[in-house]
Amino acid sequence: MGIAVVGLGRLSLDAILPGLAGSKLCRLAAVMTGDKEKGQRIAAQYGAPRESVYGYDEWDRLGNDKGIDVVYLVTPNGMHCEQVKQAARIGKHVLCQKPMSNTAAEAEAMIAACADAGVLLMVAYRLQYEPHNRHAAQLVRAKTFGELKLIEAHNGQVQDKVPQWRDNLALSGGGALPDIGLYSLNFARFVTGEEPCEVMAWAWSTPGDERFTEVEENIAWQMRFPSGVVAKLSAAYDAHEARTATLHCQTARVNLDPAFPYHGIRLHVSHRSPDDPASEVEEERVIAEIDQFATEMDHMAECVLTGCAVRTPGEEGLQDQRIMEAIYQSARENRPISLPVITTKDAFRAPFAPDGGSRG
Amino acid sequence: MGIAVVGLGRLSLDAILPGLAGSKLCRLAAVMTGDKEKGQRIAAQYGAPRESVYGYDEWDRLGNDKGIDVVYLVTPNGMHCEQVKQAARIGKHVLCQKPMSNTAAEAEAMIAACADAGVLLMVAYRLQYEPHNRHAAQLVRAKTFGELKLIEAHNGQVQDKVPQWRDNLALSGGGALPDIGLYSLNFARFVTGEEPCEVMAWAWSTPGDERFTEVEENIAWQMRFPSGVVAKLSAAYDAHEARTATLHCQTARVNLDPAFPYHGIRLHVSHRSPDDPASEVEEERVIAEIDQFATEMDHMAECVLTGCAVRTPGEEGLQDQRIMEAIYQSARENRPISLPVITTKDAFRAPFAPDGGSRG
Amino acid sequence: MGIAVVGLGRLSLDAILPGLAGSKLCRLAAVMTGDKEKGQRIAAQYGAPRESVYGYDEWDRLGNDKGIDVVYLVTPNGMHCEQVKQAARIGKHVLCQKPMSNTAAEAEAMIAACADAGVLLMVAYRLQYEPHNRHAAQLVRAKTFGELKLIEAHNGQVQDKVPQWRDNLALSGGGALPDIGLYSLNFARFVTGEEPCEVMAWAWSTPGDERFTEVEENIAWQMRFPSGVVAKLSAAYDAHEARTATLHCQTARVNLDPAFPYHGIRLHVSHRSPDDPASEVEEERVIAEIDQFATEMDHMAECVLTGCAVRTPGEEGLQDQRIMEAIYQSARENRPISLPVITTKDAFRAPFAPDGGSRG
Amino acid sequence: MGIAVVGLGRLSLDAILPGLAGSKLCRLAAVMTGDKEKGQRIAAQYGAPRESVYGYDEWDRLGNDKGIDVVYLVTPNGMHCEQVKQAARIGKHVLCQKPMSNTAAEAEAMIAACADAGVLLMVAYRLQYEPHNRHAAQLVRAKTFGELKLIEAHNGQVQDKVPQWRDNLALSGGGALPDIGLYSLNFARFVTGEEPCEVMAWAWSTPGDERFTEVEENIAWQMRFPSGVVAKLSAAYDAHEARTATLHCQTARVNLDPAFPYHGIRLHVSHRSPDDPASEVEEERVIAEIDQFATEMDHMAECVLTGCAVRTPGEEGLQDQRIMEAIYQSARENRPISLPVITTKDAFRAPFAPDGGSRG
């Protein structure tokens, strides 16, 4: 499967291109970039042909490249909608970095364009393919530790002071929420298989900080699910790196710390000793790390090859956009916002299936 | 200093009476209980005189006992108000278990009664005297790791299925919030020295669970402080034991896990390596455990003896009652509730002073 | 049960006397000390009568004190032998701090004196009564994780530079080995229930260090057991505090870190996941801490009261003395030293019985 | 730099070939194997030309392949000597898996052959290039925590019950010692920069275990260094996976757990708090993981290209062979064996230089 990587920013260079090198089913077939020289260098390093370096205005030429099956969009969020439409137009399947778009309306248009063109659209929710996250989801769904009562998650990092597209609302669609808060949001939906029916949010920024004039620095929000579970979530753009998620079940605390990075995810389970109810056992379940980017690209390739359903299709991304719009509205109006009650499990993604073994 | 322990429930038996045995300044002078036989047994075990066992209707006789300086109330919350008034009437200083009362109005009456009688009133916020919690507060207040941006805390446990006074609203004043959520609430106020100006809460219970017909099972709430810091807090009454607090600062994550139990509190600090900005250091700061109950009783004794200000007076407890009333109102009305903006630091407690050493 | 504490050094003040305060069966009946003023102060603090303060030459008067059942020796090692004889002469049971004596010959004399006088002699091996250590022993003995193959243990600390009796060979009987290395030695014997049949040791000290002119600074030794298990042990007197023990079994690593202190012992077990043989689980088994000194004194009291066998009698201490003599001989002669092959399990102590629950 | 990988066992397939894919300076130029079909498959997967698959009898043809600069031997230990001679004969540089050979005599012959042919000989001691191990060495050498007093290390795993070349003495040269014990041995030499002057060892195996009829199952040994430091080391072939190293310094315990695997090495430092001498700090220093195989191959390539000295030349491997022979002799004769006293630092490897940053 030939993949064209669109956008050569840090995520592409540090994670996606090395991931491609370790993929079983995919190879780098082309790059699209605004900097052709950089493109040539990267193509040479990863063994893609010289002529497979495209500018952002060469979608037609790319369409003629038979070696390209999938376009992987790794560009600023605000460009995704137009680029998905282009890819659909030339008949290429699309893997789109999260967040899918700046707005729900854009997401709907992207889904429609791909459906019309008969190409697959997958959103790159790498953590839905990651074994520690999947194991946690499996524990919740199997009720291994009784009912889940409360979810806590936080994703924080210190944003670079050098100006970048993420500071720009038109390109990013928002600040900490769509960039890193989305991991917590998607995690809460994925582990429960449920959709939130109400959100309540506060967003705030440090006055005078140049990074946060257009987009929010911090956001903290609660989400209520139909089963009664509540999630307390947050994201911060000027706090020391911390990416954690905790699932408070009746007979165990399941904790991912860190929960969301590219490397080094760790899973902890605290519960009573099976031998002695007065003693506590704090387990780390050491699960072998996988390359998250190779794994999600291989999934996409498999879906293209076999026609099986994409686990995280455009609809999964659209639902996150709808919820993020409700979160922003709640923060603006300082009141809870209701969402349609959806009681179907995994309403917008492929049904959850454990991967075998304890890895859920 | 002679202390009369009022109420011989599990907290008294398991923690307060053994704590008294290790206290430097206090000794058990009397017990008050509804079960005189049990009282005799306890008095004998801890070396209090036979005649120093009182029934709940013997406040006058207790008032004549010159060996008693302080009355420590360890009774159901709904009884505190009346008992504080009794103690004040007979001229004894009062140490009152938290929560101070069922309502803010009661708390005001208690403060007035003690002021009129010229006796001290202290609320037993043991964690304000605990070295790991104090160290965390010191790190925040000294801005050792830059500005604090966000507080997360949770306190959960599984409530016994055997009926108890905590299920009864008249005796408990509420469920998970006043019993265990109060630790998170007071922690957020103590580490910042600030008072919240807005709260937003959701409370929810499992339908049909006998334990939660009068009081809430779960509560999750956000609090906003004048400086801009937000706290995401929660408490759960049917989730596996977990008592954690995390302080997201600009250059470190400070984590107490567990944060609130009687034993085994642990403090973790994650930050960049001073030698190599690309490396992370995850520290555990191992601080010697103290007996929390002995320490707070010795503080009370010292205040009685020297006249120095009580760190956690009745006013500190009253403020928590006011905030809890706003939290419940928010949950009932499903909207944020504003509180008066207070910009004085440590407005209701003695000014914070590090204890010396790194223990802050 | 009245206990007379002989020797008021740091161990008595910091651990044994507070332990007595929390004991269920024992109370402080008397102290014996060279500093009567200090003795009076301690007696007052812990509620022992004024007249129950004895000098080291008042064994006869102590013998007449009917309130004293047990004498607990907490004096320099070189004084134990004479003091045990005195206690036996006056008909008091003896609890003797470890190491029992300076030599095996002394230990034999102590056992004989107590046997002749019909009094119990127990050596204060507190860790044989400690739940984490017992749990580890239970795992080995039950072969929960297959055969034990190798034991590693180390006990290190930095010795004070102020001259003290431990620097003096006549009083201490040796350096790091009898003081702290003995914990590793006794641990290896206790968890296996076996006796070593061969030892090989190296001892070494930093030249010119005043602390180590009479006694060794460091010692590292191997012991071979009849079943084939080997233990690699060490002790250090000028290395940062570290007290660890690891049991390498076929299907798990069982690790105590720390293993030997008065407080904060932690037990870790690493093994394959029962669900997924490709995954590893690293458990901490959180077992409630007990007061080690109260527990061993209560055991002694129970043996006195009921006549049941002492778990760690004089014979248990004598065996350690014999092994330490072989270790020193090996270090001096730089060759392995054989010991008599003993195939009886728990040859010198009461048979091992799990305590119930998982605490084994 | 073209590398020919000789031997396509699990280490090649699982670690070295993927490592090559991530290397900056090296590419797979050829494979040599007894199974040509497997060779073709691997060559295709990693992009090596069809004709670059060699049999073990095709050294001359390989010598004519100008695309090959370095031969990487990943074959059974007993084959290394002959294969190094072949590689030298045809003028290729050699990277040789550890242990270098079965005997010191073989190692000497290998060094001589390479010297005569003017090709480089490097032994693949990957951990001398690994940042956590290097950081530990830097801490010891800089005396950051005072003098090092004692080293503990252990390397254990459960050996497969399916017969394999490692069970065969002629092919393996020994059991747990050369295969996994060598990591501890080389670690102790590397962190100190010293050479042991005396060893004392015991080896033992479970009677009747088919895996251990020719080679030892377990080995435990002590090594004494000229500065006085002693190392307690061990290796086990039928114990649950554990690969640890601890450095007991005067003011810190430095612990690598795990210390030696391909992935997931972790470094812990325990020391007193700089702020409060009564408190302990337990740090994890989180250093980014590198690909150990890519890093050592890139070092070899750099030495070939620039002529700089190989950090771990044949002489480094020869010294380990000499020490292992002394260890086996000690175990056989059950007595300590002396080795020549060498006081030069890093006598057999390139001088140690920190890598910059805190990674030493």
> Does B284 contact chain D (CB < 8 Å)?
yes
The answer to whether residues C169 and C234 belong to one domain is yes
The mean per-residue pLDDT over the stretch B167-175 comes to 97
In whole angstroms, give the CA distance from residue C116 to residue C85.
10
Q: Is residue A294 part of a domain?
A: no
Confidence band (pLDDT; 50, 70, 90) for A108? very high
Residue A305: helix, strand or coil by DSSP?
A: helix
- Give the count of beta carbons closer than 10 Å to the beta carbon of residue B279: 19
Residue C256 lies in a domain: yes
Asked if B158's CB is within 8 angstroms of A204's CB, the reply is: no
Provide the pLDDT for residue C358. 33
Number of structural domains (chain C) is 2
Asked if the model's pLDDT at residue C23 lies above 90, the reply is: no
Q: Could you tell me the maximum CA-CA distance found in chain D, to the nearest angstrom?
A: 69
Mean pLDDT, to the nearest integer, of D205-221? 97
Gap between the Cα atoms of A319 and A349, Å rounded? 10
Assigned domain for A293 exists:
no
Q: How far apart are CA B226 and CA B205, in angstroms?
A: 31
Residues above pLDDT 70, as percent of chain D: 99
| B242 vs B262: CA distance, rounded Å | 13
- Catalytic residue (choose from B98, B125, B129, B328): B98
Residue-wise pLDDT tens digits, C40-95: 999 988 878 889 999 999 999 999 999 999 999 999 999 999 999 999 999 999 99
**pLDDT confidence of residue D114:** 98
pLDDT score at A277:
82
User: Which residues in chain B are closer than 8 Å to A248, comparing Cβ atoms?
Assistant: 154, 156, 236, 239-240, 242
CA distance from start to end of chain A: 27
What residues of D are labeled active site? Answer: 98, 183
Would you call A156 and B150 a contact, using CB atoms and an 8 Å cutoff? yes
Task: Please tell me the least confidently modeled range out of B54-63, B191-200, C108-117, D23-32.
Answer: D23-32
pLDDT higher than 70, residue D356: no
Of A229, A179, A244, A230, the C-alpha closest to A200 is A230
pLDDT band at C357 (very low <50, low <70, confident <90, very high): very low
CB contact under 8 A, C248 and D230: no
Quick check: D228 and C204 CB within 8 A?
yes
Q: Which pLDDT does position B62 carry in this prediction?
A: 97
Instruction: Give D95-105 pLDDT, tens digit per residue.
Output: 999 999 999 99
What CATH number has the domain bearing residue D109? 3.40.50.720
Same domain, A92 and A144: no
Distance between CA atoms of D188 and A31, rounded to whole angstroms? 48
Q: Write down which chains contact chain B via at least 3 CB pairs under 8 A.
A: A, C, D
Residue A26: which pLDDT band, with cuts at 50, 70 and 90?
A: very high
- Whole-number pLDDT of residue B221: 98
- pLDDT higher than threshold 90 for residue B231: yes
For residue D329, being part of any structural domain is answered with yes
Distance between CA atoms of residues C221 and C240, nearest Å = 19
Domain end call among D74, D97, D124: D124
pLDDT at position D359: 30
Percent of chain A with pLDDT over 70: 99
Residue C260 contacts residue C183 (beta carbons within 8 Å)? yes
The CA angle A145-A243-B204, to the nearest 5 degrees, is: 45
- Residue C239 touches chain D, beta carbons under 8 Å: yes
Is the pLDDT score of B222 beyond 90? yes
pLDDT class of A46 with cuts at 50, 70, 90: confident
Q: What's the CATH code of the domain at A136?
A: 3.30.360.10
Q: What is the pLDDT of residue C155?
A: 98
Q: Are the beta carbons of D32 and D58 closer than 8 angstroms?
A: yes
The backbone torsions φ and ψ at residue A173, rounded to the nearest 5 degrees and listed phi first, read 75, 0
Q: Are residues A111 and A134 in the same domain?
A: no
| Alpha carbon distances (Å) from B285 to A240, C323, D250, D279 | 18, 38, 19, 7
**Category of C219 on φ-ψ map: left (φ > 0), alpha (ψ -120 to 50) or beta:** beta
The DSSP symbol for A221 reads: E
Task: State whether B79 and B57 are in the same domain.
Answer: yes
pLDDT digits (tens, 9 = 90+) for A192-251: 999 999 999 999 999 999 999 999 999 999 999 999 999 999 999 999 999 999 999 999
Residue pair D342/D193 in contact (Cβ under 8 Å)? The answer is no
Report yes or no on A301 lying in a domain: no
A158 within some domain? yes
Chain C residues near residue D143 by CB distance under 8 angstroms:
none
- A273–chain B Cβ distance below 8 A for any pair: no
In a domain, C348, yes or no: yes
Percent over 90 (pLDDT), chain A:
91
The residues, any chain, with a CB within 8 Å of residue D272's CB and separated by 6 or more, are D251, D279, D280, D281
Average pLDDT over residues B109-124: 98
Residues D139 and D234 in one domain: yes
CB-based contact, D282 to chain B, within 8 Å? yes
Per-residue pLDDT at A359 = 30
What was the ipTM of the complex prediction?
0.96
| Strands B2-6 and B70-73, bridge-based pairing | parallel
d(Cα A181, Cα A175) in Å, to the nearest integer? 9
Query: What pLDDT is stored for residue B355 in this prediction?
Result: 72
Select from D94, D124, D154 the last residue of a domain. Answer: D124
Percent of chain D predicted with pLDDT > 90: 91
**Are A169 and A318 found together in one domain?**
yes
pLDDT for position D47: 79
| A18 pLDDT tier (thresholds 50, 70, 90) | confident
Per-residue pLDDT at B209 exceeds 80? yes
Verify that A134 and A115 share a domain, yes or no.
Answer: no
The verdict on residue D304 lying in a domain is: no
- For the segment C109-136, the average pLDDT, to the nearest whole number, is 98
Helix (H, G, I), strand (E, B) or coil at D196: coil
Single out the residue in D124, D159, D189 at which a domain terminates.
Answer: D124
pLDDT mean over B46-63: 93
In this structure, the answer to whether residues A21 and A158 fall within a common structural domain is: no
The pLDDT mean for chain B works out to 95
What is the DSSP secondary structure assignment for residue B37, as one 8-state letter?
H
CB contact under 8 A, B263 and C289: yes
Rounded-to-integer distance, Cα C84 and Cα C108, Å: 11
Residue C93 pairs with which residues in a beta bridge?
C70
**pLDDT tens digits, residue range D287-344?**
999 999 999 999 999 999 999 999 999 999 999 999 999 999 999 999 999 999 999 9
Residue D360: pLDDT band (50, 70, 90) is very low
pLDDT of amino acid B360? 27
D222 and D91 together in one domain: no
Query: Beta-strand (E) ranges in chain A?
Result: 2-6, 27-32, 53-54, 70-73, 93-96, 121-123, 148-158, 198-204, 218-224, 230-236, 238-249, 252-256, 267-272, 280-286, 337-338
DSSP symbols for C137-191: HHHHHTTBTB-EEEEEEEEEEEPPSS--GGG-HHHHSSSHIIIIIHHHHHHHHHH
Mean pLDDT of the region C284-290: 93
What is the predicted pLDDT for the residue at C360?
A: 27
In what helix (H) or strand (E) does residue D241 lie, and over which residues does it extend?
strand D238-249
C341: which DSSP letter?
-
Give the three-class secondary structure for B295: helix
**pLDDT of A357 over the 70 cut:** no
Same domain, yes or no, for A202 and A351?
A: yes
What average pLDDT does the segment B61-90 reach? 97
Best D149, D209, D246, D283 member to test C by mutation, with max C CBs in 10 Å, is D149
Residues C204, D230: C-beta atoms closer than 8 Å:
yes
Band (C276; pLDDT cuts 50, 70, 90): confident
- Angle ∠(D123,D126,D131) on CA atoms, nearest 5: 140
Same domain, A24 and A116: yes
Stretch C125-154: mean pLDDT: 98
Query: Which chains share 3+ C-beta pairs under 8 angstroms with C?
Result: A, B, D
> What's the pTM value of the predicted model, to 2 decimals?
0.93
Q: Are C165 and C280 in the same domain? A: yes
Domain range for C351 is: 130-287+313-359
What is the torsion angle, in degrees rounded to the nearest 10, for the CA atoms of residue C46, residue C51, residue C54 and residue C57? Answer: 180
Instruction: Kindly tell me if the per-residue pLDDT of A74 is higher than 60.
Output: yes
pLDDT at residue A297 is higher than 90: yes
Q: Nearest CA to CA, how far is B289 from chain C (Å)?
A: 9
Q: Which residues contact D317 (CB under 8 A, 6 or more apart)?
A: D96, D98, D99, D100, D101, D107, D123, D125
Other C-beta atoms lying within 10 Å of the C-beta of residue D207: 8
The answer to whether A218 contacts B150, with C-beta atoms less than 8 Å apart, is yes
E-only strand ranges, C205-311: 218-224, 230-236, 238-249, 252-256, 267-272, 280-286
The single residue of B54, B72, B129, B183 carrying the catalytic annotation is: B183
